[in-house]
């Protein structure tokens, strides 16, 4: 931006002022420079498009049977082949993207909401409140996450919704501990002290000052956690504790096809590739976001 001004001798001079860029815009520029992160974002976007437009993109319904064409290899008619019920595997993989992404997004969203609420309270108020919440997180982290998820689903009953709840619960400590550590450092900043001195109430300090300045690591962790949630959803489906037949879910597809590994390997290869590519996409995107949002990673 160029601004005219006058000096003491009444002569016009030109003052150039640089345009101020927001931290989020700088992060976006940094993210775009990371080629692997962009590739990961494209993979994620591809599967999101598949999930949204599955009924239009899929060549057939996910539960349409052709009993005369069971275990057919990939061909021009069925690009990914057919399963033991004559169902088109490509269609089931496409519809399976809906299930996996739905569980991944909403389970992580639930974990963020609950974990951040507990972590903010623990970090801001401290003392016995912090002790109780921190010990609760420690107890949950003492159990292997997948075993805890299996136990929760076993109590609630096998279903996709209960698998989502279980995955959300087991990821709560990860977000809670992360936001707690961030709040402990942010609340010592001078502007927080000034807000308290001005008589600003706690809720306003938390939601207007502390939370916005603690959100960057949550975005990164949330992106990486979606990849983990998709794997956990597939694991529960493989064990028969997640999606139930005839729902098209990648983990359940792997479980149903394991007996045909030698006879018809394509029934396991394509659902496995879908899981691998989706998780890879979220991991690459999460690494790119970490590099873009973390000041320590910037030159």
pLDDT for 210 equals 80
Residue 9 within a domain: no
Spatial separation of the C-alpha atoms in residues 205 and 183, rounded to whole Å: 11
Spatial separation of the C-alpha atoms in residues 291 and 21, rounded to whole Å: 18
Half-sphere CA count of 213, side-chain side, radius 13 A: 16
Residue 210 carries which DSSP code? Answer: I
**Terminal C-alpha separation, the chain:** 26
The residue segments making up the domain with residue 224 are 22-297
pLDDT for 198 equals 77
Q: Give CB contacts under 8 A, 24+ apart, made by 75-84.
A: 80/266, 80/270, 81/264, 81/266, 81/267, 81/270, 83/253, 83/256, 83/257, 83/264, 83/267, 84/256, 84/257, 84/260, 84/264, 84/267
Spatial separation of the C-alpha atoms in residues 152 and 162, rounded to whole Å: 8
Residue 8 within a domain: no
* Number of independent structural domains in the chain: 1
Residue 3 within a domain: no
| DSSP strands (E only) in the chain | 2-6, 12-16
Spatial separation of the C-alpha atoms in residues 285 and 292, rounded to whole Å: 10
Residue 10 within a domain: no
Residue 60 within a domain: yes
pLDDT for 186 equals 80
pLDDT for 184 equals 85
Q: What tokens were used for 250? A: 């990648």
Question: Residue 164's domain is classified under what CATH number?
Answer: 1.10.3720.10
Residue 11 within a domain: no
Question: Helices 215-238 and 172-186 meet at what angle, rounded to 10?
Answer: 170
Residue 39 within a domain: yes
Residue 247 carries which DSSP code? Answer: S
Q: Which residues of 24-36 are buried (b: 16+ CB within 10 A; e: fewer)?
A: eeebeebbeebee
Digits of tens for pLDDT over the chain (299 positions)? 555 555 555 555 555 545 545 666 777 777 788 888 899 999 999 999 999 999 999 998 888 888 888 888 999 888 999 988 889 999 999 999 999 999 999 999 999 999 999 998 898 888 899 899 999 999 999 988 889 999 999 999 999 999 999 999 999 999 999 998 888 888 777 777 787 777 777 777 877 778 777 788 888 889 889 999 999 999 999 988 988 888 889 999 999 888 888 888 999 999 999 999 999 999 999 888 887 776 555 55
Type and span of the H or E element at 190? helix 190-197
Spatial separation of the C-alpha atoms in residues 59 and 79, rounded to whole Å: 10
In a 3-state reduction of DSSP, which class is residue 82? strand
- Which pTM was predicted? 0.84
């Amino acid at each position: 931006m160029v601004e005219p001004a006058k000096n003491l001798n009444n002569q016009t001079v030109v003052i150039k002022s640089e345009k101020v860029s927001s931290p989020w815009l700088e992060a976006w520029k940094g993210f775009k420079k990371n080629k692997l992160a962009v590739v990961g974002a494209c993979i994620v976007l591809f599967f999101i498009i598949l999930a949204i437009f599955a009924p239009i993109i899929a060549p057939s319904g996910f539960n349409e049977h052709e009993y005369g064409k069971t275990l057919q290899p990939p061909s021009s008619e069925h690009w990914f082949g057919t399963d033991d019920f004559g169902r088109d595997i490509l269609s089931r993989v496409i519809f399976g993207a809906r299930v996996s992404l739905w569980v991944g997004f909403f389970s992580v969203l639930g974990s963020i909401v609950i974990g951040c609420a507990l972590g903010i309270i623990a970090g801001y108020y401290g003392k016995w409140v912090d002790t109780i919440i921190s010990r609760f997180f420690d107890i949950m982290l003492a159990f292997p996450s997948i075993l805890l998820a299996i136990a929760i689903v076993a109590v609630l009953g096998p279903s996709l919704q209960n698998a989502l709840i279980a995955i959300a619960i087991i990821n709560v400590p990860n977000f809670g501990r992360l936001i707690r550590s961030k709040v402990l450092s942010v609340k010592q900043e001078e502007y927080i002290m000034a807000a308290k001195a001005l008589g600003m109430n706690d809720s306003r300090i938390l939601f207007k000052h502390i939370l916005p300045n603690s959100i960057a690591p949550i975005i990164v962790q949330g992106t990486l956690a979606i990849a983990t949630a998709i794997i956990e959803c597939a694991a529960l489906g493989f064990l028969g504790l997640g999606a139930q037949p005839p729902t098209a879910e990648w983990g359940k597809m792997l479980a149903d096809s394991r007996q045909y590994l030698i006879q018809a390997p394509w029934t396991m290869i394509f659902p496995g590739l879908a899981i691998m590519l989706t998780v890879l996409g979220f991991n690459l995107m999460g690494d790119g976001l970490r590099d873009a949002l973390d000041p320590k990673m910037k030159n």
